[in-house]
A = this chain, B = another copy of it.
Amino acid sequence: MRKIITRLAEDLEKIREEKPLLHHITNYVVANETANLTLCVGALPVMAQDQKEVEEMVSHAGALILNIGTLSLELVEAMILAGKRANELKIPIVFDPVGVGATSLRTESARKILRELYVDIIRGNAAEVSILAGYGGKIRGVESLGVENDLSLSIKEFAFKKNCIVAATGEEDLINDGKRLAIVKNGHPMLNRVTGTGCMATTLIAAFAAVEKDKFLATIGGLVTFGLAGEKAAQQTLEKPGSFHVALYDAIFNLSLDDILKEAKVEIV
């Protein structure tokens, strides 16, 4: 375990040194927030979604983020074009199926993306991941209202079937690569008080995926980092969601390797 956490800390250092470009095809609600988060963790953001440029843009990227928070058929087409190019170039893809299950457009688009692309990592809340995996779940808009199945089991089967990493984030984050289950216990309830924190977690996972070959570790790294930043941000801003949001950027920027070594709460079972 110590070895893994040391490697996560080294990955964070690598992000800051290599400054990978994170190409986001994402929703307009959190575009600014995820771009700023990208800068704060030490990477470079670019948002580009036109079908005429996404293949060219992604070819310079360290990772591609596909987020269907405010989707359209055109946007999904752009995601598939960018994704195919990313697959050819072995650039990792992180997929965030925002609100899947809430409308059939979202469900069908998400399935289409998974059918046409190899996606390295899928991150969603419990309902999104469970619905996408085919086990059902309750969602109100983009908010998980819970699942009835055993989530750790369904993400395992889903990850195994898709041969990728599946992460269901929430009070505890569950990550599975089809064999191993990791549980990340870092985080803070204040993260639920700010919109787009799921999208932000996805961005951090992508930053780690850009520098870490083992995508299971990359996913853990992104979620530990984000959870830790949430804990630190909450120290001074409890019950103040606006101030907490601001402090979250400060915390990501200032997260030290030592913070990870000492405060990461990860179990692998």
Contacts and interface: CB of A to CB of B under 8 A. Distances in A.
Nearest to A32: B29
A52 to B, nearest CB: 5
Contact of A253 (B23, B47, B196, B241): B241
B36 A102 contact: no
A48 B103 contact: yes
Interface stretch (A66-74, A129-137, A179-187, A217-225): A66-74
Of the candidates A19, A29, A52, A142, the one having the most CB atoms from chain B within 10 angstroms of its own CB is A29
Of the candidates A72, A142, A195, the one having the most CB atoms from chain B within 10 angstroms of its own CB is A195
A36 B140 contact: no
A231 interface: no
Interface residues on A, range: 35 or more
B32 A196 contact: yes
A46 B141 contact: yes
Of the candidates A47, A56, A106, the one having the most CB atoms from chain B within 10 angstroms of its own CB is A47
Interface string A128-155: 0000000000001111000000000000
Contacts of A33: 32
B241 A44 contact: no
B103 A195 contact: no
B56 A104 contact: yes
A60 interface: yes
B253 A39 contact: no
B103 A53 contact: yes
A45 B105 CA distance: 18
Nearest to A237: B250
A35 interface: yes
B36 A241 contact: yes
Interface in A22-70: 23, 27-33, 35-36, 38-40, 44-50, 52-53, 56-57, 60-61, 69-70
Contacts of A140: 19, 21, 44, 60
Nearest to A59: B103
Contact of A49 (B40, B70, B141, B246): B70
Interface of A: 19, 21, 23, 27-33, 35-36, 38-40, 44-50, 52-53, 56-57, 60-61, 69-73, 99, 102-106, 140-143, 192-196, 239-243, 245-250, 253-254
11 contacts: A30-B32, A36-B245, A39-B194, A46-B141, A48-B70, A53-B104, A56-B104, A239-B253, A241-B249, A242-B246, A242-B248
